[in-house]
Amino acid sequence: MLNNDTDQLTLEVTSNCQAKCPGCIRHKVINTVTDEIGAPPKNVNMTIAAHNKIIDEASPLKYISYDGGFGDSPLHPDFLAMVEYAAQAEGLQMLTISTNASMRTKKWWAELGAILNKHLPCDAEHEGHKVFFDLDGIDNETQEMYRVNTSFDKVIDNARAFIGEGGFAAWKMIPFEFNEPLEERAKELALEYGFKEFHRDRVQRMEQVATKLAIFKALKGDDANYGDMRDSEINMSPKKNLDQVAEKAKELIQDIEINHELTVEQNLDNAKEKSGIVCEWAENKMWQVSHDGGVYRCCWHQSNYNYWTRLNSGDKHAWERFMDNYDKNWNNINYHTWDEIVNHKFFTEDLEKSWSNSYDDEVMPKLKVCTKRCSKLNVELSPRVS
């Protein structure tokens, strides 16, 4: 039985984001009638009442993270009030926020820093609070190479206002080929502006596609061009990083029979389905809550269940068959208590049972998102799948 306790909440309190990053799921949403790329969800904001209900009913909590697949939390009109309430949750050790930060005023960011410093000041181990500022460049030009529709200067101004009121800021730079030569200058700027941490080490997403890279090379040869994979983030990533994770996965796929008559994706699906599933979110007592109040086992379920995209359309009918077993809004905090939701049959029994079923099961089909994101192949590469 999957663990239904709660240590960590990941909250997405709004569906809004002004950025237009090419790799974001917001720009892969499809219209299920026309099968065309549609608009991302707009102006769906969690109510303060729902937010505070989650905090109260899920407490005591160790960690709260404001992050999500579609929205950037500081765009919520009442985000400061939400943070102040959450920061005082029973047992809370750490509150983090991940944001592009190219919105709001310096005064607003200073107030956020003051709130977090008051209620969750950082100790010697850096526990308390942390805000990750998405800075993939070192000026406006290089920032826009991936973080489209954001301003480097505005992010820095906001970060400095936040830091000035005692906020703990981390500079988060996704490793792309274009910013590899910028790393040392970025570290210098981070130190100059008062950031406490610098990260250019996001390999999780690459590790999640490591087996795909390894199978691609097995099919195409060591000189294979990763650009042929037609993946925007892979195409922007340093080749040496891709080679490293592909090599890491090479041993894992050594016993997999590679069928040269099948595509990379088909070979990968076969391999992952046979490897079994490990739900690390359940093992680590983590839950994801969506901007509409829906509670999900993980971030992948949230985006997969809420909006159809080119990445998850294969699960559309599986979700529909699975959810026909339950009442409408069975997992929504606006209609049920936290305990009612996390102790629901889907989370405590049916989800795990479905992993032994086929994708075409008429009652409880195995969801492809589970094998795609949480197969043992993923977990052996990356101890934290999120």
* Averaged pLDDT, 224-245: 70
Q: Which residues contact 73 (CB under 8 A, 6 or more apart)?
A: 11, 12, 13, 14, 66, 67, 79, 97, 99
- Whole-model pTM: value is 0.83
For the chain, percent of residues with pLDDT exceeding 70 = 83
pLDDT digits (tens, 9 = 90+) for 361-386: 989 998 888 887 787 766 555 433 33
pLDDT digits (tens, 9 = 90+) for 79-89: 999 999 999 99
Name which residue leads in pLDDT, 251 or 203: 251
DSSP alpha helix (H) spans, the chain: 48-58, 79-86, 106-119, 140-143, 152-164, 183-193, 204-208, 210-220, 232-236, 239-250, 264-275, 280-283, 299-306, 316-323, 338-342, 345, 351-354, 368-374, 376-381
CATH 3.40.50.1980 for domain 8-202+280-306:
no
Maximum distance among all alpha carbons in the chain?
61
| Residue pair 151/140 in contact by the 8 Å Cβ criterion | yes
pLDDT digits (tens, 9 = 90+) for 125-149: 778 999 999 999 999 999 999 999 9
Type of residue found at 142 = T
Query: For position 175, what pLDDT does the model report?
Result: 87
Write a three-state SS string for 135-151.
CCCCCHHHHCCCCCCCC
| Residue pair 383/376 in contact by the 8 Å Cβ criterion | no
pLDDT digits (tens, 9 = 90+) for 272-326: 677 788 898 999 999 999 999 999 999 888 877 777 665 555 577 788 888 899 9
Name which residue leads in pLDDT, 101 or 32: 101
| Residue pair 117/127 in contact by the 8 Å Cβ criterion | no
The size of the chain, in residues, is 386
pLDDT at 258 over 90: no
User: What is the domain partition of the chain in residue ranges?
Assistant: 8-202+280-306, 206-269, 314-328+337-378
Name which residue leads in pLDDT, 180 or 267: 180
| Residue pair 108/77 in contact by the 8 Å Cβ criterion | no
Q: Which residues contact 156 (CB under 8 A, 6 or more apart)?
A: 135, 189, 193
Q: Give the pLDDT band (50/70/90) at residue 163.
A: very high
C-alpha of 216 from chain center: 25
pLDDT digits (tens, 9 = 90+) for 111-126: 999 999 999 999 777 7
Query: For position 32, what pLDDT does the model report?
Result: 53
124: left (phi over 0), alpha (psi -120 to 50) or beta: alpha
| Residue pair 37/28 in contact by the 8 Å Cβ criterion | yes
Query: For position 187, what pLDDT does the model report?
Result: 98
Measured in degrees and rounded to the nearest 5, phi and psi for residue 275 equal -85, -15
